[in-house]
Structure formats: structure tokens, C-alpha cells
Amino acid sequence: MLINCAAYQDGRKLADIDIDSISDYVARPECFVWVALKDPEPDELAVMKDEFGLHELAIEDAQNGHQRPKIEEYGESLFAVMHTVEMDEAGELLIGEVDVFVGHNYVLSVRRGTRTGFQNVRARCERDPHLLKEGSAFVLYALADDIVDRYFPVIEAMSTEIEALEDRIFERNNSAASRVIIEDLYSLKRRLVILQHHVTPLQEAIGKLTGGRIPSLCEGMQAYFRDVYDHLQRIVKTIDGRREMVVTAVQVNLGMISLAESEVTKRLGSFAALFAVPTMIAGIYGMNFEAIPELHYKFGYPICLAVMLTVDVILYWRFRKAGWL
């Protein structure tokens, strides 16, 4: 589906144009055309291939989708694959893909699986004509910068989730609640790994535009792409830190479960000791022997009960002092 098709010259928008007019504007060296597609059909991509002279391998990647984030050179043009990451109401990650074809006088962006469009990027570029004069390379930067900026709210949401889970760990929970916490922690770790798998390759790809042999198309834009690279570097480090926090939280939760089980064991042992002493005394005097000491003593029964009670009181006091009860 065609979203936008416009021609630009000297940093300013000339007009919205139809597809049949693309080749006319592309032929003008001082102009560039910016086309945006959403979930295009193969025949739509075929039309764009003819209008812009796109490489067939790049078209094949854009048509099939599910590509790893990358930036490839095809002669004087670039083909960039970037992934968008959004979070739904349940906290699950929604992965989309944006394929960008960039030439000296054209930009073709193809997005799949993204709920939020890039109209704000086009508006931003049109508000800065002195930057839009840089041409298609600036549009590529603006798209990459917007995609990377969308990662930050996702990471912030995950960070908030980690903090909430850490608070739940130190609450008095039963084993069932502890199990739920561990499941939530592993779910969060899984989502962090997914996010890292989409961010790290993009960092490597953007790094190609910041130093070394820069494609001629992006000459003079290194500082802008370096800013995107710095953001990605910060995001990757943040993800690594959050993953370590999740691992630590899992270990702490397991430790809290062990401590809780130890407390239960000590309580059960303490109560067992309180019953064991009277049981032992009663068992001794319950044996069927005639020569048991004080067997016929008049005050033997109350003395025996008093001894049992005294020993239990002493044991209970010691257990309470030790924190077992």
C-alpha cells in the first residue's frame, strides 16, 4: 500500500506526485523522491524496482522479509534493514521490519508489521530544510534515529518491570507466588534477549557509516550516524545490565525460597523438640517394669508433669530467643 510519494528539491517539498511521475523527477539531478510503502504486494515492489532501478537481490530481501538488521551496498545505492520493537498491552514484544532503499536521488521505505508509521519523520525532515538539503542520506539517518528512539520506552518499561519484580521478591510469599515470580523473571529475560537480537546487529550495521570507508552516499553525514551509533551502544549496554539484574534477581529469589524453607524446617524441628521431651518421659514411665524408680511415689505423677512442663517452657524460651519460633 502506498503511504506517501513526494518530490523534494533544495531541502523543500516540491509536490506529492503519483507513481507514474517518479522517473521524471528521479531524472532531475537536483531532486530526490521519497516513497513510503506499507506491506506492499510483489507487483508494487516490481514497479518500484523499475522506477528506481533497484537491485533484484535487495528487492528479493524486501519481498521475503524476516531479514537480519543490516546495511548493504549495491553500486552507488544502499539497502538498509532495520527492526522496530513495540510493546503491546500484555507486555509482549511486537517486531516489525523497515527496509530502506537509498540512492542519490531517491528514498524508498518499506515497512512491515509496524503499528506506528513514520509520518513524524517526514514532518521532522520537512521542518529542517537546511538538513534535508543533504538529500536521501539525511532521510536514512532520520528513519534510523526514529527507530532507535523507539527502543528507549521499551527498555524503560522492562526496567520498571524488573523493579516491581524485585519488590515482590522480598515480600512474604508462599512457594506458589515464588514460582510465579521466577516465571515472570524468565519471561522478562526472554524478552530482553529478543530485544538484544534486534538491536546488536543494527549497531554493527550503523557502525559502517561512522568510520572507515564511508559509502559515497553518506559522506558528510558521519556525525549524524555516529549519534545513532552512540544511542545504540547505550541501549546495548543497558540491555546487558538489565539481563544481569534479572539473573541476580532469579538467584536472590531462589535464595529467599531456601531461607523460607529453612525457616519452616526450624519451626517444625522446634515443635518436634517440644513434643519429644514429654513423649520420652512418658515413654519411660510407661514401660511395664515393676522396679521403676518412684513408681509408687505419691507425688510422682504431678512431679513428672511439672518436669515435662518446665523442660518445654525452657525449650520454648530458647527457641524464641534464637528466632526459631
In a domain, 6, yes or no: yes
Please report the pLDDT score of residue 195 as a whole number: 92
Count of CA atoms in the C-beta half-sphere (13 A) of 226 = 9
- Lowest-confidence range among 61-70, 260-269, 305-314? 260-269
Please report the pLDDT score of residue 101 as a whole number: 93
* Residue 121 vs residue 168, higher pLDDT: 121
**CATH number assigned to the domain comprising residue 87:** 3.30.460.20
Please report the pLDDT score of residue 82 as a whole number: 93
Q: Which three cell numbers stand for residue 11?
A: 531541502
Dihedral angle of Cα 111, 115, 120, 122, to the nearest 10 degrees: 20
Q: List, in sequence order, every residue forming a beta bridge with 8; answer none if it has no partner.
A: 13, 32
pLDDT digits (tens, 9 = 90+) for 105-118: 889 999 988 888 88
Residues 195-214, buried b or exposed e (16+ Cβ, 10 A)?
bbebbbbbbebbbbbbeeee
Q: Is the pLDDT of residue 176 over 70?
A: no
Please report the pLDDT score of residue 172 as a whole number: 64
- Lowest-confidence range among 48-62, 130-144, 261-275, 301-315? 261-275
Q: Angle at which helices 56-64 and 42-52 pack, to 10 degrees?
A: 150
Q: Which three cell numbers stand for residue 260?
A: 523460607
* Domain C-terminal end among 105, 130, 155: 130
pLDDT digits (tens, 9 = 90+) for 106-162: 899 999 888 888 888 888 888 888 888 888 889 999 999 999 999 999 999 999 988
Q: Is the pLDDT of residue 265 over 90?
A: no
Q: Is the pLDDT of residue 289 over 70?
A: no
- Lowest-confidence range among 11-20, 137-146, 231-240? 11-20
pLDDT digits (tens, 9 = 90+) for 204-225: 999 888 877 788 788 888 889 9
φ, ψ of residue 78 to 5 degrees: the values are: -120, 150
* Residue 152 vs residue 177, higher pLDDT: 152
Please report the pLDDT score of residue 291 as a whole number: 66
Q: Is the pLDDT of residue 280 over 80?
A: no
In a domain, 234, yes or no: no
Residue that has been written with the C-alpha cell 527498555 in this structure: 155
In a domain, 317, yes or no: yes
Please report the pLDDT score of residue 115 as a whole number: 82
When pLDDT is averaged across residues 170-191 and rounded to a whole number, the result is 78
* Residue 323 vs residue 119, higher pLDDT: 119
* Residue 149 vs residue 28, higher pLDDT: 149
In a domain, 119, yes or no: yes
Mean pLDDT of the chain: 84
Q: Is the pLDDT of residue 96 over 80?
A: yes
For residue 50, give its domain range: 1-130
CA 246 to chain centre: 11
Please report the pLDDT score of residue 300 as a whole number: 73
* Domain C-terminal end among 130, 161, 184: 130
Q: Which three cell numbers stand for residue 161?
A: 518491570
Please report the pLDDT score of residue 148 as a whole number: 94
Using a pLDDT cut of 90, give the percent of the chain over it.
Answer: 23
* Domain C-terminal end among 106, 130, 154: 130
Contact by Cβ (8 Å): 229, 207? yes
Q: Is the pLDDT of residue 304 over 80?
A: no
Q: Is the pLDDT of residue 258 over 90?
A: no
In a domain, 152, yes or no: no
In a domain, 42, yes or no: yes
Using a pLDDT cut of 70, give the percent of the chain over it.
Answer: 92
In a domain, 308, yes or no: yes
Length of the chain: 325
Model-level pTM?
0.78
Residues 6 or more apart in contact with residue 278 via CB below 8 angstroms? 308, 311, 312
Q: Is the pLDDT of residue 318 over 70?
A: yes
- Which span out of 72-86, 206-220, 276-290 was modeled with the highest average pLDDT? 72-86
When pLDDT is averaged across residues 63-91 and rounded to a whole number, the result is 87
In a domain, 200, yes or no: no
Q: Domains in the chain: how many in total?
A: 2
**CATH number assigned to the domain comprising residue 297:** 1.20.58.340
